[in-house]
Structure 1
Amino acid sequence: MKTTLLFLCIFFGHNILAQKIEDIDFEGLTKTKPFFLHTHIQCKAGMPIDSVIIEKDVQQLRNLNLFFKVESKLTLLEDSSKNYRLTFIIEEANYIFPILLIGGFKDIFKLEAGLNNINYKGEGKTIGAWYQYYDRHSFSFYHNTPKYLHSNFGHNIVFSKYSTIEPLYFKAKKSFFNYDNYALWLNAKYWLNKNYHVDLGFTPMYEKYRQLDSVEIPLVQRDFTFFKFRINSGIHFKKINYLYERISGIKSTLYTETIQTKNEPMASFFLVKLSTVQHFLIHKKGNLSYRHVFGLSTNKVSPFTPFVLDGFLNIRGIGNRIERGTGIHFINLEYKHTIYQNKILILQSNVFLDAGTLRAAGEKIAMLFSLKETKAQVGFGLRLHTKKYYKTIFRLDYGIGIHKMGSNGFSFGMGQFF
């Protein structure tokens, strides 16, 4: 009896192990290149069938954040009892979508508009153009290749002209300048594995400042220009699972940057910043997310400090670049809940708490943890996801100040806040 059982176990175990993937194909592709997807899956022709690996590959294809839906099926080939075809069934998206953000605080208005192709040439590359009105006119053109085929390298290239009316802080005085920045950012990245990559970038810049008021400032000239260069580096970790309007997982970045100029030593600095974003699924319709950012720079008294509190960047509804400093510490906490969906759209409501502090130039790090210095906003909003155009999310937020001298404000845009 024991001999018979052993024989049956060996026989059936052999047959199970002998089942192989003879062929792999992708069904439903109209724009994405199959060879691009092959570089992102573990399954290969000739491998034994492993349901765990297949499910991981399905999620990996979803995590490319390019498709509405990804599923898999195994089909027994004709005239075979052990060879199968593995098919990934994919529903592709419209990859060219608009960029739009509208918002304001009191007498400040901001508009962003543009076009973005997130699957250029069917290889997961990004190319786009962007326009902004935020006191003045800005634009940029960019191209991003996350990873070259059959290589661990990738790149970013951005050419931009950024123009605003910028407040500069000279101790107790504040003066406004027309600010123009022309930059060409060249960035190379290297993937250590599917979750980790490092990057290194170089940016030559030309900046112009023209004072708009008559505030006395401790500079020789009221109008001045800089030729500057930036060197940046980063270590990035990302392990995010996408489930259409809801996401789970974590991503984190340790970023360093130095900016140097010969004309004005006060404009040179070094900074380091650690940012972490984490998402949690709550039951079947909820999504809890938080972002935590902590950064420090060279702590010298200068009007050209790199960190800023701004209602469009970190604390919703707080206002227009209300403070600058040599250190920053802020947290965004948000809960989104799916309240309605059909074949065309998904509607989410959200509530949030944003809080943060800056270290003023020359002050101690303890200032970043001072409740007295903390600026906080609570608020609510809506997210409208369109199912026809992938990643097209209309966002509306309204922030209410709960700190001393707090202000209220709204922002309307596309995409999630973080």
Structure 2
Amino acid sequence: MKLINNTFFLLLIFVTVVCSAQEQMIEKITIKGAKKTKVNELKKILFFKENTVLDSIQLNEEIIRLKRLPAISHVYYEVIRLEDNKNEVVVKVEENFTIIPEFNLWTTTNKRLAYKIGISDYNFLGRNIVFGGFYQNNGFDSYGINLRAPTLFSRKWGIAFHHQNWNSEEPLYFENGTANYRYQNISFETLALYQVNNKHQLQFGINFFKEKYSYLTGAISSNVPQNLDVNKQLFKLIYTYNNLDYYYQYINGFKTQFYGQYVTSENEYQNDFLVFWNDLFYYKRIGSKGNWANRLRIGLSSNDKTPFAPFALDNNVNLRGVGILVDRGTGSIVLNSEYRHTLYEKKWFILQGNIFTDFGTWRNPGGSFSDFIDSNNVRIYSGIGLRFINKKIFNAVFRIDYGHGLTPNSSKGFVFGVGQYF
């Protein structure tokens, strides 16, 4: 028995030595194709390093991660065998053009023509930093400045800063009618960004902001002030699980994103409140030219009976064709589903068509969960659209959709925008 044990022990040592001797190592990492992007920045982002074990599963996951970066249009790799058990990993990237101007035109609630202009660099200084700003005029002046550096301190830690002075005319809904108010929001936000691994990310921080409401026209209620000016603090947490794989305009996989916010304020019309929502995304490649895309959003907030409810029923957010800021609620369930099909593709240009259905239902401020199945709160829209895509420029998707309501007393209309709807 002792001889058998000794033999087994020696055999185990032999197998361990042989396996160790045959273990493939990364001797060198070479990045090719990077022009604006700093090579050192890409190497910092990668989880695999030189003089570590060559792991093909990890390599494939890292390539998927790189394809999610705004600076990268496409990326692939090859392994070159060197002497002994050493290897060179050559990562070949195709860069996006990332300095993106923004220009939008639309009609406000009082039929006034509004516009928004801006510019953002999604690869500022070649270091995976997003930096940009905008100016908007919708009868009032607004502006915003954003800086987001997800790998500023290391491949896991980054930071984001946002400042905004937002002014708009918005409808408020209460029992005896509707009123239009001038709404102003001046905010300063700081977020810490932490990447747990390739699939899990966290963002958390605080937003200090001042809200002002000034009565313009419409109904008056004794329960709703004509002027409101209050300082608030917003504590924010965002958790993201991202398992999406990109191939130019095509997406495959699953993603979930949770938003949690706690807002504190001191005034008689608005209590401290909690709001959260979760977005579930599912994308499926169909054949060589098709893509099925889905988004399910479920959100709830503190159920105060107030015209300042956080969830909005709006063309540009949830239901295509419904109109601009049609209603508000303290709960929301929205399902967007569409099939995208590439109609034409030549070099950098892509023409994509889509058919869609948007479903939504709301909980009224101060209402109950039964509001979600109340036919008066359910909206269903369906329609068709086109996408004009430049595959060499980040998020260069101009979209136009036409939505038609399928539920009673529904509206219809066109929705324009930049980027996919979701």
Cα offset, 1:278, TM superposition: 1.5
Identify which range, 24-33 or 364-373, moves more after superposition. Answer: 364-373
Aligned residue identity for 2:174: F
Identify which range, 211-220 or 195-204, moves more after superposition. Answer: 211-220
Q: What does residue range 149-160 of structure 1 map to in structure 2 within 5 Å?
A: 149-150=153-154, 152-160=156-164
Cα offset, 1:19, TM superposition: 5.1
Identify which range, 347-356 or 360-369, moves more after superposition. Answer: 360-369
Paired residue for 2:5?
A: none
Aligned residue identity for 1:34: V
**Distance in 2 of aligned mates of 1:18 and 1:228:** 57
Contact kept? 1:185, 1:204, Cα under 8 Å: yes
Q: 1:370 aligns with which of 360, 369, 374?
A: 374
Paired residue for 2:41?
A: 36
Aligned residue identity for 1:377: Y
Aligned residue identity for 2:87: Y
1:67 aligns to 2:72 (yes or no): yes
Q: What does residue range 82-93 of structure 1 map to in structure 2 within 5 Å?
A: 82-93=85-96
**Distance in 2 of aligned mates of 1:105 and 1:348:** 29
Q: What does residue range 83-162 of structure 1 map to in structure 2 within 5 Å?
A: 83-104=86-107, 107=111, 109=113, 111-134=115-138, 136-150=140-154, 152-162=156-166
Q: What does residue range 264-303 of structure 1 map to in structure 2 within 5 Å?
A: 264-266=268-270, 268-303=272-307
1:319 aligns to 2:299 (yes or no): no
1:263 aligns to 2:274 (yes or no): no
**SS in structure 2 at match of 1:213:** strand
1:177 aligns to 2:181 (yes or no): yes
**Distance in 2 of aligned mates of 1:151 and 1:390:** 22
**After the TM superposition, which segments of 4 or more aligned residues of structure 1 sit over 6 Å from their partners?**
13-16
1:353 aligns to 2:357 (yes or no): yes
Q: 2:341 aligns with which of 302, 317, 337?
A: 337
**SS in structure 1 at match of 2:59:** helix
Q: CA-to-partner distance for each residue in 1:241-265, whole Å, 9 max, x for gaps? A: 1111011122212222122221334
**Distance in 1 of aligned mates of 2:305 and 2:287:** 49
**Distance in 2 of aligned mates of 1:407 and 1:108:** 20
Identify which range, 33-42 or 172-181, moves more after superposition. Answer: 33-42
Q: 2:62 aligns with which of 49, 57, 64?
A: 57
Q: CA-to-partner distance for each residue in 1:266-307, whole Å, 9 max, x for gaps? A: 254221212211111111111111111111111121121111
Contact kept? 1:296, 1:326, Cα under 8 Å: yes
Cα offset, 1:100, TM superposition: 3.6
Cα offset, 1:45, TM superposition: 2.3
Cα offset, 1:52, TM superposition: 4.1
Paired residue for 2:50?
A: 45
Q: 1:190 aligns with which of 194, 215, 219?
A: 194
**SS in structure 2 at match of 1:216:** coil
- Per the normalisation by structure 2, the TM-score is 0.88
Q: CA-to-partner distance for each residue in 1:139-177, whole Å, 9 max, x for gaps? A: 211011223343532222110111111111222321111
Identify which range, 253-262 or 290-299, moves more after superposition. Answer: 253-262
Tell which has more relative contact order, 1 or 2 (C-alpha 8 A, sep 6+): 1
1:232 aligns to 2:256 (yes or no): no
**Distance in 1 of aligned mates of 2:105 and 2:129:** 27
Distance change (3 Å), C-alpha of 1:136 and 1:310 = farther
- Per the normalisation by structure 1, the TM-score is 0.89
Distance change (3 Å), C-alpha of 1:256 and 1:20 = closer
CA RMSD between the two structures: 2.5
Cα offset, 1:51, TM superposition: 4.1
Contact kept? 1:103, 1:410, Cα under 8 Å: no
Q: What does residue range 375-390 of structure 1 map to in structure 2 within 5 Å?
A: 375-390=379-394
Cα offset, 1:217, TM superposition: 1.4
Aligned residue identity for 1:417: Y
Cα offset, 1:46, TM superposition: 2.9
**Distance in 2 of aligned mates of 1:58 and 1:216:** 58
Aligned residue identity for 1:44: K
**Distance in 2 of aligned mates of 1:197 and 1:172:** 45
Paired residue for 2:403?
A: 399
Contact kept? 1:95, 1:117, Cα under 8 Å: yes
**SS in structure 1 at match of 2:270:** helix
Which structure 1 segments of 5+ residues have no match? 1-9
Cα offset, 1:96, TM superposition: 0.7
